[in-house]
Chain A
Amino acid sequence: MLPSYLTMAAILFCIGLYGALVKRNAVIVLLSIELMLNAVNLNLVAFSKYGDVPSLTGQVFALFAITVAAAEAAVGVAVLIALFRARGTVNVDEFDEMKR
């Protein structure tokens, strides 16, 4: 059972990574990051159930990750709204302040 969960998580992670690196809309980039986090959560849960040393720790850890992810999404969206107010766009290509 474990390999199919892991494959599923890997596919999910890759889709997230692709979205985070390629999509131009900042909202979709944030969503893609959530996808990657969830892929990791899936891994944690899969290992805690089917791993060599099954234990509840992994599932508890996954819960923590979800909590942190929620907080991160809140902060991310807040930053995004602030950026939108300042620049009038959510296009990632136009955010190049780090160059200076």
Chain B
Amino acid sequence: MDQLTKAAWLIPLFPFAAFLLLTALGRSYRLAGVLIASIGSLASLVMSLLVFIERLGPNAVDYSGDSYKWIGLGEYTLKIGFEITNLNALMLVIVTVVSFLVNVYSAGYMKKDERITVFYGYVALFTFAMLGLVLSDNMLVFYIFWELVGVCSFLLVGFWYAKPAARAAAKKAFIVTRIGDAGLLLGIIVLFWYMPGHALDFSSIHNVFTEGQSGTITTTITTSIALLLFMGVIGKSGQFPLHVWLPDAMEGPTPISALIHAATMVAAGVFLLARTFDIFEASAAAMHTVAYFGGFTAIFAATVALAQNDIKRILAYSTISQLGYMVMAMGLGSMTGGIFHLFTHAFFKALLFLAAGSVIHAVHTQNIHEMGGLGSKMRITAWTFAIGALSLSGIPPFSGFWSKDAILASALEENPFLFAVGLAAAFCTALYMSRLFFIVFTGKSRLQQPAEVKESSKVMTIPLLVLAIISVGAGFIETPWNGWLGSWLTDGAEDVHASGAAIVASIAVGVLGIYVGWLMYGKGSIERGAAGAKMPWLVHLLERQYYVNEFYDAVIVKTVRAVGKSLNAFDEYVIGGAVRLVGVTAGAGGRVLTRLNNGQTQTYGLTAIIGLIVIIAAIVGRRFW
């Protein structure tokens, strides 16, 4: 029955084999490289779907695969294994679907890039790492893959390394997420220390932290473990205050923004929250922190997105905001809501990014004010983008509505304040998406060479269509009257959060946001500059993204640089000086001694005598001392 589940460890190995093959082949096999990588990810996709279908069966139980004993220390052993739960199976499907479509899409988008084989190699490596992360059965293996996806993100953000901005963005992405990762590692260490038998596998964590045995580890320790793990989430999922790397990461190729920085890697933080949900649930303080961080990030990033002019930056801030929603849902105890939004968001945000990539591919600019009127020239792109935008704005029956509604309904039950925050963020979301859509796809063309714009090739539009279909349909697995996803994910432990008020309110703010956006940017009956004329400081604040980057620059980067410089000076002058002094002394001594070696017997004799006298003086001197 569950033969496929037992063989699930093969899933990450297909892309890994593709990566090895691509690396071995080198850059000249362009078409072969694309085919190998796509076939690798297609194999993973098929396998994941089969595993997923198997999990839908009536008697599917969580399966932990055969473990390979990695480290043995006396009684303690650390194992590498894989685990299939319903959550993992769902993530497998999300990752492989988006990864495969991005592979197909990139064949068109990266066609003219001379390093396309390298690109596909990195994507295959990333897919391997992400699938490994999803399948890992203990925290340490999880952490290894967690870092590996970070490395792939670094490589791909800096893929066009000839651009200084791309290099800086890659470094920033790596360093900022490392700050969170340090917290995650500390969390794992503390967990290791306090867990009975130092077990790090997720099933033991589940057993220890579920309510019956919560006495094993005190609440204080639980809270600190949860908060340290949450630091990793903040870094990886771009939550405030470590969100600054995600907008900059848009320097990478657009398919990468869709795959890594919208659908999969940034969602790994939310996945971690879901995987260690029992730890968070055991500590009310941690849950509150998570919820408020998520809520704040949602509204914060949504307002910033209102005033950005780069199409990818708007989508990046939108991603941060939506990740904030997911984190907030987790913090409010609605794991189903968080994972459901992760699921739908992965598809419609990947769709939006790929459609944006199609636009960028056609017009060669990312500034939305240099676009305009593209709807008539790029029909498929415009329609699919519209579907993604409506889904993101929370308009029924698109998938984003159902997942956002699930979150808002549970927020209304748990915390009315966060419900209000979520509604405000939803309004901003609808507003900036309609602004983006109307500026880019309607109105007059503001292009430099309008004649050259044409629809992208089939290899790029077909993934858009597939994602659009999923974006429309994916929401129906969990609706207010059908809590299939929730009961499937949590074995029936979590009920449907249904609330008429939440549905009405979320539709209302979504429609209102789009209507205001249409008035401002579509019909033009509200003057665009009206807000800017009345409150220039506010627009400026939003355009500069609340000056977070400037603040970090002034406070943290400068301090670190100053410390680095002083340490460098210490190294240069004190340590280096001492080393040079030793060198100079030895050299000078050598030169003096060289002069003694003149071949003259008498000089040698004299030296020997002087040495003898010194020895005698030393011996005699010691006797008198």
Contact = CB atoms under 8 A, between A and B. Distances in A.
Contact of A99 (B599, B606, B609): B599
A97 B598 CA distance: 9
Contacts of B599: 95-100
B220 interface: no
Nearest to B608: A21
A96 B605 contact: no
B609 A98 contact: no
Q: Which of A21, A99, A100 gathers the greatest number of chain B CB atoms within 10 Å?
A: A21
A69 to B, nearest CB: 18
A20 to B, nearest CB: 7
A40 to B, nearest CB: 15
B455 to A, nearest CB: 87
Contacts of B601: 92, 95, 98
A86 to B, nearest CB: 16
B602 A99 contact: no
A92 B602 contact: yes
Interface residues of B, number: 10
Interface string B591-609: 0000001111110111001
B600 A21 contact: no
Interface in A44-100: 92-93, 95-100
A93 B600 contact: yes
Interface string A21-57: 1100000010000000000000000000000000000
A99 B597 contact: yes
A14 B606 CA distance: 13
Contacts of B605: 20-21
A92 B604 CA distance: 13
B609 A96 contact: no
Contacts of B597: 99
A10 interface: no
Interface string B417-461: 000000000000000000000000000000000000000000000
A22 B609 CA distance: 13
A24 to B, nearest CB: 9
A39 B597 CA distance: 30
A6 interface: no
A96 B602 contact: no
Nearest to B605: A21
A96 B600 contact: yes
Contacts of A95: 599-601
Contacts of A92: 600-602
26 contacts: A17-B609, A20-B602, A21-B602, A21-B605, A21-B606, A21-B609, A29-B602, A92-B600, A92-B601, A92-B602, A93-B600, A95-B599, A95-B600, A95-B601, A96-B598, A96-B599, A96-B600, A97-B599, A98-B599, A98-B600, A98-B601, A98-B604, A99-B597, A99-B598, A99-B599, A100-B599
